[in-house]
Amino acid sequence: MTGFLLPLIVTLAVQIQASLVVFTPPVLAPVAEIDVGVRASAVGIVTALIYGASIPAALLAGHVLERVGAIRVSQFCLLLTSAGMALIAVPSAWVIALGALVAGLGYGTVTPASSTVLAERVPPGWRVFLFSLKQTGVPVGGAIAGALVPVAIDLFGWQAAALGVALLGLVVAAAAQTVQRAVDSEIPPRRSAHGTGLVEPLRLVFSHARLRELALSSFAYSGMQMCLGSYLVVSLMERTGFSVTAAGAALSAAMIAGAIGRLFWGAIADNWVSSRRLLGLLGLAMSGAAFLTAAIGAAWPPPAIYALAFFFGASAVGWNGVYLAEVARIAPPGRAGAATGASLAMTYSGVMVLPSLFWLIHAATDSYAAAFVSVGALTLWRGAAFLRGR
């Protein structure tokens, strides 16, 4: 059997690129709003469309992975996310919306594919840490979006920056070919004995008490994560006078903290604290960070803002690896891909619903503070649920 190290590197690269596609539109939005003719705060709609399209893709992931192979599926995912990113470079709200949907169809199967690659390869004592390491691709992609995309915008313009992200996806897809044959040949295509519709994977998750609890909590946690990623830049620019580069640096700080957090929390869950209890504590932490973010104003010194962004990212972005490793651990044998896909359908639903709710609250109140407090209350509820007994 192929070792786990090279497949881990490839799945990490795929995760980074897919995440870069998701986090690039919020960085483009403040600069592109004049050309597009839509306020930057509406970028939450783009995020919602990406994750809305990800939901059916995630639900069908187990079925597709059994027939095509996880690395080949990952390559197809990158082609779709790159095509979506290229459409987002067009200064038309309708074309951008189409690009978001195309990118979402690709994004939805990235994580189930990578979980399938690692589920039977990682040593048991390292499971949470290595899943967390793989999932650092999400905040690393966000950090790249916050640090390098603003530089590309300054040098080449927002459209060229978007096309550069799309081109990078094609490069990563080509590089994944190095392990495609070895990895995908280990599990020959076969006809599943399980149902292949959209409902069957959801039935798998919601008939299992612990999978159901994880899925419901991921709805809130993922929504908070994407509200942070979608609105931190624009809210800092409007509330503190930060430039796009300074606000992007705060986003990078949050994402770097998320990457560090995923590794740190993975090690904690493997050795000292149960995954369930740790997820509860992280829910309380991200709620506190959201409440503090609501209080940010022009009088706040930049170091304090960056420190808060770091803490926010460590919790609101750092939880994901612990969650996915727990899903893979308790899933029925041979069904890690289907269980992960169905659980992620709830995760993506949170990412679709809560940024849209955030946008509606901001539109109704003209207050980013009210929106951050509202989403923070939801994650506080779910975090407390993890800590109440068994």
Q: Where are the domains of the chain?
A: 5-182+199-387
Could you tell me if 39 and 90 are in contact, meaning their C-beta atoms sit under 8 angstroms apart? no
Give 139-161 as a DSSP string.
HHHHHHHHHTHHHHHHHH-HHHH
Amino acid residing at 257: A
- Confidence at 205, pLDDT banded by 50, 70, 90: low
End-to-end CA distance of the chain: 38
Q: Which of 171, 389, 177 has its CA nearest to residue 277?
A: 389
- Confidence at 163, pLDDT banded by 50, 70, 90: very high
Q: Which pLDDT score, from 0 to 100, does residue 285 have?
A: 95
Alpha carbon dihedral 374, 222, 319, 377, in 10-degree steps, equals 10
CATH domain 5-182+199-387 topology? Growth Hormone; Chain: A; (1.20.1250)
Q: Is the pLDDT of residue 259 over 70?
A: yes
Q: What is the token pair recorded at 6? A: 């090279």
Higher pLDDT, 312 or 142: 312
Burial, 280: exposed, middle or buried (Cβ in 10 Å; 0-12, 13-18, 19+)? buried
- Confidence at 307, pLDDT banded by 50, 70, 90: very high
Higher pLDDT, 190 or 67: 67
Q: Is the pLDDT of residue 194 over 50?
A: no
Q: Which pLDDT score, from 0 to 100, does residue 1 have?
A: 41
Backbone angles phi, psi at 121, to 5 degrees: -110, -30
Q: Which pLDDT score, from 0 to 100, does residue 125 have?
A: 66
Q: In sequence order, which ranges of the chain are alpha helices (DSSP H)?
A: 5-36, 43-59, 61-68, 70-88, 93-107, 110-119, 127-135, 137-147, 149-156, 158-175, 177-184, 199-206, 209-240, 244-271, 275-294, 302-316, 320-330, 336-365, 368-387
Average of per-residue pLDDT across 331-348: 71
pLDDT in tens, 176-186: 888 777 776 66
pLDDT in tens, 350-370: 887 888 889 889 889 888 899
Give 307-327 as a DSSP string.
HHHHHHHHHHTTTHHHHHHHH
Q: Which pLDDT score, from 0 to 100, does residue 95 have?
A: 93
Residues shown for the chain: 390
Contacts of 286 (CB under 8 A, 6+ apart): 221, 224, 312, 315, 316, 319, 376, 379, 383
Q: Is the pLDDT of residue 113 over 60?
A: yes
Please state, as a whole number, how many other Cβ atoms lie within 10 Å of the Cβ of residue 196: 15
Q: Which pLDDT score, from 0 to 100, does residue 86 have?
A: 95
Q: What is the token pair recorded at 320? A: 């994901």
State if pTM tops 0.85.
Answer: no
pLDDT in tens, 127-157: 677 777 777 777 788 778 878 888 899 899 9
- Confidence at 380, pLDDT banded by 50, 70, 90: very high
Q: Which of 103-117, 183-197, 274-288 has the highest mean pLDDT?
A: 274-288
Please give the Cα distance from 218 to 136 (Å, whole number).
17
- CA dihedral (289, 290, 291, 292) positive or negative: positive
Average pLDDT, the chain: 82
Distances in whole angstroms, Cα of residue 379 to Cα of each of 10, 373, 383: 32, 10, 6
Please give the Cα distance from 274 to 278 (Å, whole number).
6
Distances in whole angstroms, Cα of residue 312 to Cα of each of 52, 211, 283, 350: 25, 26, 11, 18
Average of per-residue pLDDT across 80-85: 94
Could you tell me if 109 and 51 are in contact, meaning their C-beta atoms sit under 8 angstroms apart? no
Q: Which residue has the tokens 């169905």?
A: 342
Q: Which pLDDT score, from 0 to 100, does residue 136 have?
A: 76
Q: Please compute, for residue 329, the number of CA atoms within 13 A of its CA located in the half-sphere on the CB side.
A: 22
